[in-house]
Structure formats: structure tokens, C-alpha cells
Structure 1
Amino acid sequence: MLKVGSNTGLHECTTFFCHCAELQGSKPATPPGSNPPAVSSSSSLQIRCGSEDLLTRSVLARSLAGRLLHRSSLLRRRRRRVLSVHCLICRTVGPMEDSQEIEKQVQEEVISDNGTEKKQETRDEMLSRHRKEISQLQKKEIEMKKAAARGSKAEQKAKKKQVEDEVTRLSANLKEKHAKELAELGYSSGGNGNEKGNLDSLIKAIAGVSVANQPDRARVSKAQQKRDRRAQQEAEREQRIQAEQSDTISDRTIENEKLEKKLKPLGLTVCEIKPDGHCLYRAVEDQLALLSGGRSPHTYQELREMAAAYMRKNSAEFLPFFLSENLIEDDSDETLAQKFENYCKEVESTALWGGQLELGALTHCLKKHIMIFSGSFPDVEMGKEYKSAAATASLSSSIMLSYHKHAFGLGEHYNSVVPA
């Protein structure tokens, strides 16, 4: 449809009438707004047919333009796909080219080192250079893995496999090169068991030789890792204790002197117990063995379980002391009962230090009178109801412990008190 309500519409109408006139081979028609000449009915029919032809051509032209725009859009999409594939290929091939470059650099460094040092390289110098080359390979492996961790999951999986293969190849080549260089110094892999002639033992002496993805590397189980971690923590604890024993003197010495003055008139002395977090239970175990005249009827672990079970069963008696001795955070979602249950689990299954709560439970479990001597605080008695009438004047049937506040900087400690 033609718009006639504006200057643009008037111009289009004028152009339309001119085209119609050209089709008839006559003069241009008079634009709208002027007095048109008189035309016959046949002339008006011809003009109408010409206008319909022009409209049809206009529709066809628009349709053709739409098709051209659609094809142009398709071409742009195909171009984007080609560019994305090209970028992916560049990212995948990039790490491989970098690995080849690093291999060439290592070879050039080896050649330059051999050129500058024509004199024979010593074993220590060679091992030092080998460590440097292995360190470079490890750094390159990290860079290649970082570069491979881009793109979709499928792309990352494919690039990861390529990086692993490339690292394995570079590691094998480097190991073979090192073996050849060591063989030139007189070390062979087929020795007769002699350590000096055994190439494998010499290669193992190279620090940092462990490169990832080596198939012959033994895997350590999680249980073994946990045991190793505990052993390491125990060794570190022993080292700290020894260091503190040599450093902390004043408070511990004063406390021990006061305790000795208190025990000496009673004919008693302190028996040292291992400070490993189980000291309270180990001291009670030592006292039970002393009272029974041989082996203790309960181990320290069994004493832990007995104390935890008694506290669970009589939680109402222990909860007030639990609240006073333990700081309870307000932002915790656990109830008081849950917190007390978790505490009991720690008592029976970990090396949590024991204190007044556990001593109170043990005196009822064992039905024994417990006497705790201290050089820093007044002596404490627990379970007086279990003290026999015959032994009222003596402590022969009581469990006797010593409490040390300044024994170690790591925390409180309990020892066993025995006859001198």
C-alpha cells in the first residue's frame, strides 16, 4: 500500500504514476493534487494493470532481499563455528608445541653445559643438573595441565589424555637420558648388587625424581596415611615435650619441690606416666595394677569406655559440671544433650585429656577412694564413701594420683603415686 498522507507518500505516488506512464509510452501522469487530464476507460485499465505489475515486482524484490539476508546470516554462523574450531585446535596443539620447546630447551642446556664444561662432570654436579631438569619438567607439567583445564568437559578429557601421554613420553626420555649420562660415569643398571654399581639406587638418590603419572609408583592406602599421620603427630608431640622439659624450669621445679615435701613424710613418691593424652587413665591403670599385686584388671582404653558409659547413664549428675568446665558456643545448632553425647564419644574414642568429670565417674565405676596430690593446689579426695573403715587412717587401698599444672606447657598432667 502507498501512503499519501505525507511528503514521502506524495513522492512515492508521483514515482508510481511516472512508471505507469512509461509503460503506456505516454507522458508522465499529473501528480495528485492537480487537475488530471481526461482519460478514457481503456487508458485507466492499462494504468491499473501496470500498477499491479509493479507491486508484484516489489514483492518479489523484497522476498529476494530476505533470502539474501538469511544466507548472509548462515554464512556468519558458519564463520563463527570455523573460528571456534580453529581456537580449540590452537589450544590443544599449544601445550604440545610448548612441551616440544621445553624439550629442545633442556637439550640445548645440556649441550651448552657440555660445551662449557668439557672437563668431566662429577657425580654430584650431574645429579644436581638432573634435579634441575626434573624440576623444569614438573613445572611444565603443571602449566600443561592448567592449559588443558579449559573448555567443555569433553574437551578437557581429551586434552588431559594428550597431556598425560606427552608427560609420560617426556619423563621416559629424560629418565633414559639421565641413565645414559650416569652410565658414562661407570654406573650400570645390571650390577651385581653392589650399591656403587647399581644405577637404580643411584637414580633414587636424586631428590625430586618423582614425576606424576609413573605407573610403578606404589599407592598408599588411606588407613596407612592415617597411621603415618598419627605417628608423625606423636613424634612431634614428643619433640615439643622434650623441648619444653629443657626450657620450662622455674614453675615446674617449684611445683615438684612442693609436691615432694608433701609426699616424703607419707613415704610416697611420683611414678612418671607417659604424657600422651591418656595420662589420667594410664595412672589409674598403674594404681590398679599396684593394688592387685600384678596386672591391672582394666586397660586405660577400657577405663575410658567405663567412664563414658557411666556419664551417659547418669547425665543429670554430670551436666552441671560439664557446663561449667566447657565453653558452649551460642551459635551452635546442637542441643545440650547432643553436645554432652559428643563429649562422651570423644572420651571413649580419642585422646581427650581427662579431668574432674572423668575422675568422678571412675570412682563410682571402680568403687574406689581416689586421692589427688598437688604441689600447686590443695589435695582433693573423691569417693570417700568407698574408703574402708579399716583403711581410714592409711591410704593402702586408695587410688593415689598426682596433679601437675606446670609439668608441660602443652597442658595438665597426671602421674601415679607409689610407695617410695
Structure 2
Amino acid sequence: MAENDGEVSELQQLLDRHKLERKELQAKTQKLKHAVPKGDKKKKKFVSAEVAQLELELTQRHEAELKALKAQSPDTQDENNLEISNSNEKNEKNTSTARISRAEKRREKQAAKERERQQRITEAEAENINSDRNLEIRKFQDIQNKYKLIMFEVPPDGNCLYYAISDQLDTRLGTKATVSDLRQQTADYMVAHESEFVPFIALDGNDSSLASEEFKSYCQNITETAKWGGQLEILALSNVYNVPVDIYQANGSIINIGEQYDVENKIRLSFHQYQYALGNHYNSLRPVHDTDTQ
């Protein structure tokens, strides 16, 4: 028994304080959980791990304080009360603590996986900082700054050349032309000027009839498939629209096509070898002042 029945025992004071601290922690953890933005799974994981850690630390501190009080108490009855109280508290929390422990382990495991994944990403980025792709990206940033150009990226789906030229015709010359229009115009021009293009299409050198058949098949594929276009197609469209085309590349000088056409608003394209997963790719390069009205 306590020395004065009118006074609250030291044990009871401790238990009351523990109860209050548990309520305060519960309020704090609820506030932390409510502060997580909806759908932010990463933040939710870290907050859950933090909550579990706070709950674990409070439980361990309470148990240590009860144990210390038991060791210091000379009163046998208080010792018995301490044992009963401690036992009741453990029983009361047995289910919830076990549940928290399992949940905590899952959260810690998930958090560890996320840290490992982020570490792999960081290491991979460090290794790839000087990859061909990243070097090409940086070089094009320098090109854009030097020539005051803005890159307008088009889909890398086999139609990139025609998308890029369509954008250039629209923004630079005020001419509307769809990808289908440009493909048809390209094929028509090449067929009409077969002798200029056949030497670059034929794979079997000396058989002119075979070369012609291959050429016709090549031109048919331009209009009927998503066949990727290159410098031959650029040359054809340069002649169709009587406009010069400059092709900027990260490794090498600017390629000029259709220089015989003296037009101020020339077409500017960027040619990429490494930046896109599907391989070679063209984008449209707009002068900086053009983007003010886009």
C-alpha cells in the first residue's frame, strides 16, 4: 500500500502519464497520416514507417520505466501491483502490438526495397552520365543555345521526318501539309525523277530493270507504310516546296540540302542517333522568336 491512502501512488502516476502519452502519440500519428497527399504512395510508406517507429519507441520506454519503478519500490504490495499492471498492459496491447509489429516489418521491408531501387537508379545515372545518349542531349542543348533555336519534339513512330517537316512548313512558311500529304508528295516526286534517285536505292548494282523495280517498291512503301524517311526524302520535299533544309546533328557539321533555293525561312531539322530508343529520329527546330506566338 502507499504510505498515504489520500495520495496517488507513484505507480498510478506513472500509469496515468503513460496513458496520456499514448493518447498524445495517437493524435500525433493521425495528424501525420492525414498530412500525406492523396495518392502519394512513396510519402505514405515513409510516414507509416515513422509512425511504427514512434509507437515502438514509446512502448519500449514505458516498459523500461515500469521496470525501473519495480526495481526501486520497497513495498511488496506495490511490486505485486506493478506486476499485475504491467501484465495487464501487455495483455491489453498484445494483439495490437503484434499487429503493429507485423505491419512495421512489412513497411520496413517496402522502405528498404524503395531505398535500394533509388540507389540503383542513382548508380545507373552516374554510370550513364557520359553515355552516347546523354552526350547527344547535352550537345543539342549547346546547339540550341548557339543558334537560338527551340526543339519541337515529334513522335518517334516512323513518321518523325514528316511530322517535323509538317511543323516547319506550318510555323515557318504558313503552309499546311499532313503526314499523308508529305508522304504522297515525296513518292510522286521521286517517281517523276527516278533517274536522280535510283542509284541510291538499288542494291544490285548493274541490273537496271531490277533497280527500277526496287525503286518502285521503295516509293510505294513511302505512301503505304510508316517507313522511316531520310536524306533522299528530305531532298525530294526540298524540291517540292522549293525550300532549303538544314539538318543539325550532335556529331558533325550542319547538312545543307536545297541550297539553290534562296529562301530566308528555311526548314531546320535535328537528327538524333542515340536519344530515342527506336533509333534514328528527326525533330523540328524553331527559332526562339517563333515560339512566342505558339
In the superposition, the TM-score normalised over structure 2's length comes to 0.51
Tell me the amino acid that sits aligned with residue 133 of structure 2.
Answer: R
The whole-number CA distance in structure 2 between the counterparts of 1:313 and 1:248 is 47
Tell me the amino acid that sits aligned with residue 155 of structure 2.
Answer: K
Q: Percent identity?
A: 35
Residue in structure 2 matched with residue 305 of structure 1 by the alignment: 184
Q: Which of 407, 411, 414 pairs up with 2:275?
A: 407
Q: Offset at 1:336?
A: 1.3
Unaligned segments of structure 2, at least 5 residues: 1-124, 289-294
The whole-number CA distance in structure 1 between the counterparts of 2:180 and 2:155 is 14
Residue in structure 1 matched with residue 221 of structure 2 by the alignment: 346
Residue in structure 2 matched with residue 367 of structure 1 by the alignment: 242
The whole-number CA distance in structure 2 between the counterparts of 1:387 and 1:404 is 27
Is 355-364 or 257-266 further displaced after alignment? 257-266
Q: Offset at 1:252?
A: 1.3
How many residues were matched structurally?
Answer: 161
Tell me the amino acid that sits aligned with residue 195 of structure 2.
Answer: A
Residue in structure 2 matched with residue 318 of structure 1 by the alignment: 197
Q: Which of 169, 194, 204 pairs up with 1:288?
A: 169
The whole-number CA distance in structure 2 between the counterparts of 1:398 and 1:329 is 35
1:41-87: per-residue Cα shift (whole Å, max 9, x none)? xxxxxxxxxxxxxxxxxxxxxxxxxxxxxxxxxxxxxxxxxxxxxxx
Residue in structure 1 matched with residue 257 of structure 2 by the alignment: 382
The whole-number CA distance in structure 1 between the counterparts of 2:276 and 2:184 is 26
The whole-number CA distance in structure 2 between the counterparts of 1:365 and 1:353 is 19
Tell me the amino acid that sits aligned with residue 362 of structure 1.
Answer: L
Aligned residue runs from structure 1 range 89-100, under 5 A: none
Q: Secondary structure, in 3 states, of the residue corresponding to 2:273?
A: strand
Tell me the amino acid that sits aligned with residue 405 of structure 1.
Answer: Q
The whole-number CA distance in structure 1 between the counterparts of 2:148 and 2:278 is 30
The whole-number CA distance in structure 2 between the counterparts of 1:354 and 1:282 is 11
The whole-number CA distance in structure 2 between the counterparts of 1:286 and 1:344 is 23
Tell me the amino acid that sits aligned with residue 271 of structure 1.
Answer: F
Larger radius of gyration: 1
The whole-number CA distance in structure 1 between the counterparts of 2:204 and 2:278 is 22
Cα 1:329/1:387, change in 2 over 3 Å? closer
Contact 1:403 1:414 in 2 (8 A): yes
Unaligned segments of structure 1, at least 5 residues: 1-245, 392-396
1:23-48: per-residue Cα shift (whole Å, max 9, x none)? xxxxxxxxxxxxxxxxxxxxxxxxxx
Contact 2:156 2:278 in 1 (8 A): no
Q: Which of 149, 156, 159 pairs up with 1:278?
A: 159
